[in-house]
């Protein structure tokens, strides 16, 4: 199937996305994470932030419990990648109003992340760099996509940028993070799961923990803020 390159863009003006205070954040002296381990990152590394959107945060249309807690943690990881001049990618659901995943169309989810709605936006506290590549998925009525690779140009863009290893965090552990990690591995990328910067839906109790174990079993390494080695 042809890849729709219009689903990826680094033009924030096109989508009305907001980036607030990034330079001030990077220059703060009170950050709890030290930057001495930045040397552990290298050319060929990239950060992928999965579906951290208003509708997936507590109070949103499909809020993930404690989903807002990933935002400051991801900002720390963004700081690492910015200082190392390494690329940052962000995926997002960008659904039509009659998307097949919605209950009115026979799906299992309430309406969420409708294109151009406030719920589909990244939260203003998530300091995504202005030159990040934004990857929109599940943009047509009859196609759902839990993976940031499904029906998008993400794999091609990563290869074009010389990326070999991806660090992945976001929402939700047991759905879009899980499937993005699985597809990244299938595409031949080394994967590091940002274990402290993910949260699960847990539609069934324990789904999140099972998803983590599945990702590790498939070959993903894990990482927390103590360092970025490996």
If one compares 24 and 151, the residue with the highest pLDDT of the two is 151
Q: Give residue-wise pLDDT tens across range 107-152.
A: 999 999 999 999 999 999 999 999 999 999 999 989 889 999 999 9
User: What's the pLDDT score for residue 228?
Assistant: 54
Q: Which of 176, 182, 183, 196 is catalytic?
A: 176
* pLDDT over threshold 60, residue 19: no
pLDDT exceeds 80 at position 102:
yes
**pLDDT over 80 (residue 35):** no
Task: Name the CATH superfamily, with its identifier, for domain 5-28+44-223.
Answer: Isochorismatase-like (3.40.50.850)
| Rounded (5°) CA angle 215-170-96 | 110
What span, in angstroms and rounded, lies between the C-alpha atoms of 69 and 200? 12
What pLDDT shows up at residue 105?
92
- Give the pLDDT band (50/70/90) at residue 227: low
Read off the pLDDT band of 197 (50, 70, 90).
very high
User: Is a pLDDT exceeding 80 seen at residue 101?
Assistant: yes
Express each pLDDT in 63-96 by its tens digit: 999 999 999 999 999 999 999 999 999 999 999 9
Q: Indicate whether 10 pLDDT > 50.
A: no
User: 129 or 34, which is more confident?
Assistant: 129
* pLDDT over 70 percentage in the chain: 81
Give catalytic status of residue 176 as yes or no.
yes
**Rounded CA gap, 135 and 213, in Å?**
26
- How many residues are listed for the chain in this entry? 230
HSE (CB half, 13 Å, CA atoms) of 192? 20
pLDDT over 60 at 162, yes or no? yes
Average pLDDT, the chain: 85
Among candidate residues 51, 55, 174, 196, the one labeled active-site is: 51
Work out the average pLDDT over 42-63. Answer: 97
Helix axes 178-186, 207-218, angle to 10 degrees: 10
Please pick, among 68, 93, 113, 137, the residue that the annotation labels catalytic: 137
Is 174 catalytic? The answer is no
Active site residue 51: yes
Q: Could you tell me where the DSSP H helices lie in 1-150?
A: 12-15, 22-26, 70-83
What's the rounded Cα separation, in Å, for the pair 165 and 220? 10
The CA distance from 46 to 191, in Å, is: 10
Domain boundaries, the chain: 5-28+44-223
Residue-level pLDDT at 186 = 98
Which residues in the chain belong to E strands, given as ranges?
Answer: 8-9, 45-50, 88-93, 133-137, 165-171, 190-199, 221-223
Judge whether residue 1 has pLDDT over 80.
no
Res. 14: pLDDT tops 70? no
């Amino acid at each position: 199937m042809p890849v729709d390159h219009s689903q990826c863009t680094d033009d924030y003006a096109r989508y009305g996305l907001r980036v607030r205070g990034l330079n001030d954040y990077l220059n703060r002296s009170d950050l709890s994470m030290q930057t001495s381990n930045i040397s552990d990152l290298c050319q060929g590394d990239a950060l992928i932030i999965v579906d951290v959107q208003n509708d997936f945060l507590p109070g949103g249309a499909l809020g993930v419990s404690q989903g807002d807690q990933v935002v400051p943690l991801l900002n720390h990881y963004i700081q690492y990648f910015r200082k190392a001049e390494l690329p940052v990618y962000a995926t997002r659901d960008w659904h039509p109003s009659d998307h097949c995943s919605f209950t009115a169309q026979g799906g299992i989810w309430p309406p969420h992340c409708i294109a151009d709605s406030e719920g589909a936006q990244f939260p203003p506290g998530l300091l995504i760099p202005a030159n990040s590549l934004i990857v929109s998925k599940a943009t047509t009525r009859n196609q759902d996509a839990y993976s940031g690779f499904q029906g998008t140009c993400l794999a091609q863009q990563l290869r074009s940028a010389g990326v070999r290893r991806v660090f992945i965090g976001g929402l939700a552990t047991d759905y879009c993070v899980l499937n993005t990690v699985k597809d990244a591995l299938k595409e031949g990328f080394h994967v590091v799961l940002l274990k402290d910067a993910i949260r699960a839906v847990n539609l069934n109790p324990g789904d999140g923990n099972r998803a983590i174990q599945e990702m590790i079993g498939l070959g993903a390494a894990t990482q927390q803020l103590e360092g970025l080695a490996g």
